[in-house]
Amino acid sequence: MAEAAEKPRGATPPPPPGWGDDGLTAFLDHARDNQWATFHNKRDAVGRLIAIDAEFLKASRDWTNPTDELAACMLIRCHGAFRTSAGQAMAGQCAETYVQCRAMLEFAAYGVHIHREPSLATVWLNRHQDAASMKLQKDAFTHRKVVESVTAANRHAGQRFEGLYQRTIDYGGHPNEYSVTGNMKMVSEPGKVKLLTILLHEDGPALDLALRTVAQCGMASLEMLQTVFNDRFEILGINAAMRDLREGL
C-alpha cells in the first residue's frame, strides 16, 4: 500500500502557448505566485506543514500488508486532502482551504470509525448499491456516530476533531456566514462603498489562520489514525515526531 509514484522533479518547462491568456489560467498563475511568496515569507508556518507532510509520507511509504486495508486507503486520501489544503492556504485561497480541511478530518475519522466496527466496511462499500444501502450508510456514518467512535478511541483526539471540524464548517466547509464575510473587504469611494470578495488573500490574519488550521487538522488526523496504526507509527518514529510537532499548535 503506497501513494502513486511522483514524477521526478526537473527544470520547470515554459508554459504552453495560450497559458495565462484567460481568466482561469491567469488566476492559477497568481495562486502559484502567492504560494511562492508564502513559502518565502512564512518559513515557520510552511516549515511545519512540510514536516507534517513528511510524517504522512513515512506512514504510507513501502507499506506491505497493512493491518487495516480500508483505513490505510483513508490515510492516503487524508494525506491528499492535507496537501491540497496546504496548497490552497499558501495560495491565499482561505475559504477553499477549509473545504479540504473538512475532507482531511473526515477521511481520518472514517478510518477510525470503520476500524472500531469492522462490519461498517461492507456498509460503506455498498453505499451505492440501492436506496436502502444508501440510507443504511448515511445512518451509520452520521457525524455524531463518527465523533463518538473517535472519542472512544482517543478522548483528546475526539475533542480536537470536533472543535476543528466545526471551525471548517463555519469558515468554508459550508456556505456559512464566516466563509463569506470573512473573505470580503469594504472600500469607501466618493459617494459609494464597494464590497470586494477576496479569492486570493494577501498576508494577514485570514492567511495566518488558514495556515495554522491546515497544520492543526493534519496533526489531528495523524492523531486519529495513530489509534489504528500505532505499532507502525511507533516503529517509524511518527509518534515521537508528532509529540514535537504538536508544540505550539
Predicted pLDDT at 8: 66
Is 79 exposed, middle or buried (CB count within 10 Å of its CB: 0-12, 13-18, 19+)?
buried
Is 5 exposed, middle or buried (CB count within 10 Å of its CB: 0-12, 13-18, 19+)?
exposed
Predicted pLDDT at 2: 63
Q: Which stretch of DSSP H or E encloses residue 196?
A: strand 192-197
Q: Which stretch of DSSP H or E encloses residue 186?
A: strand 184-189
Return the SS3 of 55: helix
Q: What is the identity of the amino acid at 177?
A: E
From first to last of the 249 residues of the chain, give the pLDDT tens digit: 666 666 666 677 889 999 999 999 999 999 999 999 999 999 999 999 999 999 999 999 999 999 999 999 999 999 999 999 999 999 999 999 999 999 999 999 999 999 999 999 999 999 999 999 999 999 999 999 999 999 999 999 999 999 999 999 999 999 999 999 999 888 887 878 888 899 999 999 999 999 999 999 999 999 999 999 999 999 999 999 999 999 888
Predicted pLDDT at 248: 87
User: Residue 100: left (phi > 0), alpha (psi -120 to 50), or beta?
Assistant: alpha
Predicted pLDDT at 4: 63
DSSP annotation string for 59-85: HHTT--S-SSHHHHHHHHHHHHHHHHH
- The residues that bridge with 194 in the sheet, in sequence order, are 187
Q: For residue 185, give the DSSP letter.
A: E
